[in-house]
Amino acid sequence: MPQDIILKMENITKRFPGVLANDRINFDLRKGEVHALVGENGAGKSTLMKILYGLYHPDEGTIYININGELKPVKFKNPQDAIKHGIGMVHQHFMLVYGLTTLENIILGYEPGSVIDFGKARKKIEEIMNQSGLNVPLDVDVEFLSVGQQQRVEILKVLYRQAQVLILDEPTAVLTPQETEELFGIIRNLKANGHSIIFISHKLHEVMEIADRISVMRKGRLVHTMPKSEATKEKIAELMVGHPVLLDVPKPEIEPGETVLEIKNLTVPSDTKGVMAVNNVSFYIREGEIYGIAGVEGNGQAELIEAIYGLRQPAGGDIIVHGENITGKPTHIIREKGVSHIPGDRHKFGVFLPFTLADNGILGHHREEKFAKWGIFRKFSNISSWAMEIIKKFDVRTPSEKVPMSALSGGNQQKFVVGREISFDHTLMIAAHPTRGVDIGAMEFIYRQLFEEKKQKKAILLVSADLDELLLLSDRIGVMYKGKIIKELDNTQRQVTPKEVGYYMLGGDVEHEDEQIAAGGEENVQ
């Protein structure tokens, strides 16, 4: 048995200001196993793995590595040390350098010689690709690889450095169900070749499928480790949260009303000249409906939203809100017509981190008479009370509205943004990845808020990379592929399955694509 164990983390403790991230964790990994590490956001899984990978140093505790049959204590000063001991990390957010080729990315930091011997590197990589079944073009700028390919490059990076232990951090977060199956195949292959894998995830059905052992973390402690035979989804969820969990929020039954948003034959250009990101798309959303857009990132969803929100000029077609054609109008007009938007990346698009909550609360409407006399002279007391309303109604934890946005936690920042967008007068809400980077408590809160919007007869356009979220919230789901909505699925009874969506996300039945679009088009036009 002991020879089986190739690494062991004993009594690992790590503190950050205000938070005990890892509390006396005991974790071990056996050779040739897939050991899943589960827990919600903020449970401490990432921290633990970063310690294993040498990015953090533990305050207490020891790491043991199996060297020649014996478990010896080691100290990792940096990732280089960890790599030398055969530990490789495949990050959730890919660490690939755009502008460099696949080959260059793989050898970066581990180059054969000060003057790079490209021939030698190429040979070694090709060998690894054959062994593992991971195939990617080597001389292309990684920027142009698909998400699935990029992930394979990340794995190749790790294998190139002769890792025996692979840490996969939320690897399926960006994959379609089909790509996930492919990944599992690769994992099984790696197992067969003697590698051991730590699989971090919060997707319980995947963990159930691929893991040999499952360890659950909660609030910095490792609460339980069990073999797959003992595990059920409910048991894992209960351990994750600490109490029996209702895995979904009840969806209110609402009779849809009038059409709020109508998209007719919309075509939107991409950043590349001559290429259309959105290609003749048509759909509609009614009062009280949540319309979800599914699709692998990069198939036109972002451009579609930008066009509706006035940030990108359509090349053709119409965008109609409450009967009024607003195609091509600028953002502030569109907001005036009753459109609110929760942007997909709050730090980049949604807030100004150094600004106070008060200033962040009126974005997009700061020229209204309510907040500025003649649209010019700011009415500070009105601005303040508006922010205070949002803070109160949406459970934003902060001492005051005068605090800078950067001082809030991610969940509270998002709650504020969601609250702000809901509070403005609107009939259409565009929600893009509304719970990205948000802990489970705030997630649940935001879902309830969206359902409240539904009850208020608002129309919601939801774009999300999280399939579970889409299936939980949407009444209808439009799947985007290469700029078209190739299939619209009815989800009013939550009857759609992930496999179904995944099938269309990858293009569906390409031969009959045109038939489907024609059929879909007729269904969509009222």
Partner 1 sequence: MMFTTLWFLLRSTIISSAPIGYAALGGVFNERSGVVNIALEGILLVSSFGYVAGAFFGKSAWWGLFWGIMAGLLLSLIHAIATVTFKINHIVSGVALNTIAIGVTRMLSLVMFGQETQSKTNSYTRLFGMDIQWLIALLLFLVIAPLSYWLLFKTSLGLRLRSVGENPEAADSLGINVEKMRYTGVLIGGAIASLGGIALYPSIWQSGISGGRGFIGLASMILGNWMPIRSVLASTLFGFADALRLIDVVRKYIPNEFLTALPYLLVLIVLAGLIGKARPPRADGVPYVRGE
Partner 2 sequence: MSSKRSNNFKYFLLSLVAPVGGILISALLLFILILLIRKGSLSDTIQAFYIMWKTLTSKQDVGYIIARSEPLILSGIAAAIAFRAGVFNIGTEGQYYIGGLLGAVYAIYFSFKSPSLHWLNVILVIVFSMIGGALWALIPAILKVKKGVHEVITTIMMNQIAYTTAKYFVNGPMSGLKGGESLEPKTMNFPAAVDFKRLYDIFHGHFPFPKYIPLYESLFIALIVVVIAYIVIYYTNWGFELKMLGTNPNATKYSGVPPKVVIFNAMLWSGAIAGIINLQEIFGIKGYYTHHMTGGLGFDGIAVALIGYNNPIGVVLAALLFGFLRTAGYNLQFELGIPNSTMDLITGFIIIVMVIASVTMNRYISKLRRKEVLSEAGDR
Task: Summarize as ranges the residues that interact with partner 2 (CB under 8 A).
Answer: 17-19, 309-311, 330-332, 334-335, 341, 343, 348-355, 359, 363-364, 366-367, 372, 375-378, 397-400, 402-404, 406-409, 411-412, 439, 441-442
Among 60, 67, 70, 99, binds partner 1 (CB under 8 A): 99
**What is the DSSP-derived secondary structure letter of residue 356?**
B
Which C-beta is closer to partner 2: that of 426 or that of 484? 426
341 binds, among partner 1, partner 2, none (CB under 5 to 8 A by kind): partner 2
Beta carbons of 296 and 505 less than 8 angstroms apart: yes
351 binds, among partner 2, partner 1, none (CB under 5 to 8 A by kind): partner 2
Q: Taking CB under 8 A as the rule, does residue 349 contact partner 1?
A: no
The token pair that represents 173 in the structure block = 């977060």
Judged by CB under 8 A, the stretch of 61-69, 79-87, 204-212, 306-314 that binds partner 1 is 79-87
Rounded distance, CA 329 to CA 318, Å? 11
Nearest CA among 174, 179, 129, 195 for reference residue 156: 129
The token pair that represents 25 in the structure block = 């964790």
Nearest CA among 245, 250, 246 for reference residue 448: 250
Helix (H) or strand (E) holding 316: strand 316-321
Q: How far is the CB of 104 from partner 1 (least distance, A)?
A: 6
* Helix (H/G/I), strand (E/B), else coil: 179: helix
Q: Taking CB under 8 A as the rule, does residue 352 contact partner 1?
A: no
Spacing of C-alpha 184 from chain mean position: 19
Helix (H) or strand (E) holding 486: strand 484-490
The token pair that represents 109 in the structure block = 């930091």
Q: Please count the residues of the chain.
A: 526
Q: Taking CB under 8 A as the rule, does residue 354 contact partner 1?
A: no
Rounded distance, CA 453 to CA 446, Å? 11
Which C-beta is closer to partner 2: that of 2 or that of 375? 375
Rounded distance, CA 491 to CA 93, Å? 30
Spacing of C-alpha 394 from chain mean position: 23
Q: How far is the CB of 288 from partner 1 (least distance, A)?
A: 40
110 binds, among partner 2, partner 1, none (CB under 5 to 8 A by kind): partner 1
226 forms beta bridges with 214
What Å distances lie between residue 210 and 27, 90, 192, 229, CA to CA?
A: 19, 17, 14, 12
- The position carrying tokens 């692998």 is 296
Q: How far is the CB of 387 from partner 1 (least distance, A)?
A: 26
Contacts of 165 (CB under 8 A, 6+ apart): 6, 7, 29, 86, 87, 88, 195, 196, 197, 198
Q: How far is the CB of 434 from partner 1 (least distance, A)?
A: 22
Among 11, 62, 110, 392, binds partner 1 (CB under 8 A): 110
100 binds, among partner 1, partner 2, none (CB under 5 to 8 A by kind): partner 1
349 binds, among partner 2, partner 1, none (CB under 5 to 8 A by kind): partner 2
Rounded distance, CA 131 to CA 133, Å? 6
Q: Taking CB under 8 A as the rule, does residue 79 contact partner 1?
A: yes
505 binds, among partner 2, partner 1, none (CB under 5 to 8 A by kind): none
**Number of chain positions touching partner 1 (CB under 8 A):** 25
Judged by CB under 8 A, the stretch of 93-101, 125-133, 177-185, 307-315 that binds partner 1 is 93-101
113 binds, among partner 2, partner 1, none (CB under 5 to 8 A by kind): partner 1
Q: Residues 224-263 vs partner 1: string with x where CB under 8 A? A: ----------------------------------------
* Binding footprint of partner 1 on the chain (CB under 8 A): 55, 78-80, 83, 89, 91, 94-100, 104, 107-111, 113-116, 157
